[in-house]
Amino acid sequence: MVSTVIKNWDNKNWLSSNNYIKSFNNFLIKNIKLNSNSKILDIGCGRGKILGSLRSKLKLKNKPLGIDVINHKDKDNRINFKKIDAKNFFSKNKNQFDLILIKQTIHLLDLNTIKKLLFLSKKNLSKNGKIFIFTLDTYQNELPTFKLMKTKLEKSLDRDKRILEFISNLYPKRLKKKFIYKVKILKKKYLEMIEERYISILLSLNNQQISIGLKEINSKYKKTIRFKDRLTCIVL
């Protein structure tokens, strides 16, 4: 279902830090009732660190399941992992989940595919199960950017707005929440992240465009960069 591949979104940055994962999982636990018997699925799990931490925190009897189109060698060993896309996974799945997590991947799909994905996800929920969908906040976004990156981001956020509106029309009873994490990162590290194209809006840029962007970021920000990573959460 996902054609765009982002290899390093959760690798050695704030998204993979213990503080971020702890904060994110506390948000989940606050907003859905989970216990040691809960069954959890993460669609687009990356290296599975969020799931692995959640398993330890809740002392889950069932290993949480993560699916992704990339099989990272350094994925978390506390989870069950399958290299598969969501459509093929659901065609074979016989389990029902108490939580299905779709974190910052929904924007990679077209509207028709999103509709199918959410339909399949709903069919594979337990009686009181929930789907948590996370996207970048489309109105208050503080990601550090260079000029071309900002243009790409604004275009992407406009599309995210349409996606969220589309989901809201499909599921009028959905809940909307906010997750906010305060980021403090060395500029040197953030430059490395940009060079590795850590976010989908950078994938289409060539090396020269990235190089120009790195120079802009270097002159624009101080040694340490601080901002709030804001996510919108839709609960179905």
**CATH number for region 14-235:** 3.40.50.150
Q: What is the pLDDT of residue 1?
A: 46
Q: What is the pTM of this model?
A: 0.90
* 190-207 pLDDT tens trace: 999 999 998 989 999 999
Q: What is the pLDDT of residue 7?
A: 54
The structure tokens 């906040």 sit at: 137
Partner residues linked to 102 by β-bridges: 133
Q: What is the pLDDT of residue 63?
A: 94
Strand positions, DSSP E, 22-147: 40-43, 65-68, 80-83, 97-103, 125-136
Q: What is the pLDDT of residue 57?
A: 95
* Domain spans of the chain, in order of start: 14-235
pLDDT at 31 > cutoff 60:
yes
pLDDT at 231 > cutoff 50:
yes
Tell me if 125 sits within 8 A of 96, measured CB to CB: yes
* 128-158 pLDDT tens trace: 999 999 999 999 999 999 999 999 999 999 9
**Mean pLDDT along residues 183-188:** 95
Comparing 39 with 107, the larger pLDDT belongs to 39
- Place 217 in a pLDDT band, splitting at 50, 70 and 90: very high
**Mean pLDDT along residues 160-182:** 95
The structure tokens 């804001």 sit at: 230
- pLDDT > 90: percent of the chain: 85
Of 72-76, 135-139, 164-168, 207-211, give the lowest mean pLDDT range. 72-76
54: nearest Cα among 18, 13, 105, 83: 18
The structure tokens 């959890």 sit at: 40
